[in-house]
Chain A
Amino acid sequence: DQQVKQNSPSLSVQEGRISILNCDYTNSMFDYFLWYKKYPAEGPTFLISISSIKDKNEDGRFTVFLNKSAKHLSLHIVPSQPGDSAVYFCAASGNSGGSNYKLTFGKGTLLTVNP
């Protein structure tokens, strides 16, 4: 049962344009959401997060939007740079099954930014 879904395995954009990565979740108990970036042969690195009490959080070129009613969040990267090419994971946590302290990850989206 995939509680966090990233339905696009890959995305390709031109340098300078906007990248939009999408994520859906099914568990209504999730109340904190994170995006991680992963390069090959490295562990995931934290990018940006959002609490369920907000609908938007911005950090430089990265903005995360949360639509609770649709159980959907998205990560916007603008402008996209070649160094942003990586796998992006959406993750969620909340009082699901009694644990507030673990993250449930999606399968990831491979972003390729072309020069």
Chain B
Amino acid sequence: DTGVSQDPRHKITKRGQNVTFRCDPISEHNRLYWYRQTLGQGPEFLTYFQNEAQLEKSRLLSDRFSAERPKGSFSTLEIQRTEQGDSAMYLCASSLGRVVKLFFGSGTQLSVL
């Protein structure tokens, strides 16, 4: 059974650079979510997809952030012109149907220097 896979596990970048993360959900899951977690906080919702449609975006998702899920399979999250405040763990999760039980990947830890 393959769980949610995220790549890379760690990313160190300089302020102002662009970064892109990839998430491969559990294969039969139709919903895919991106969350962000900072130290001492719980995961914060960023956006979610049902199949290839992006149905909701948090106000946390500034215009420097863009997420895609082409063909309803894997998803990418891009951050343009990174800032130090973007440093966080970016978590991807997926779920099936009407069940709100999310399965999370191991996350991508972003450090912006």
Contact = CB atoms under 8 A, between A and B. Distances in A.
A and B bind: yes
A105 B101 contact: no
Given A34-B101, A43-B106, A101 B95 contact: yes
A44 B106 contact: no
A89 B104 contact: no
Interface residues of A, number: 26
Contacts of B91: 43-44
Interface of B: 4, 6, 31, 33, 40-45, 48, 50, 55-56, 91, 93, 95, 98, 100-107, 109
Contacts of B109: 41
A105 B48 contact: no
A103 B41 contact: no
A49 B101 contact: yes
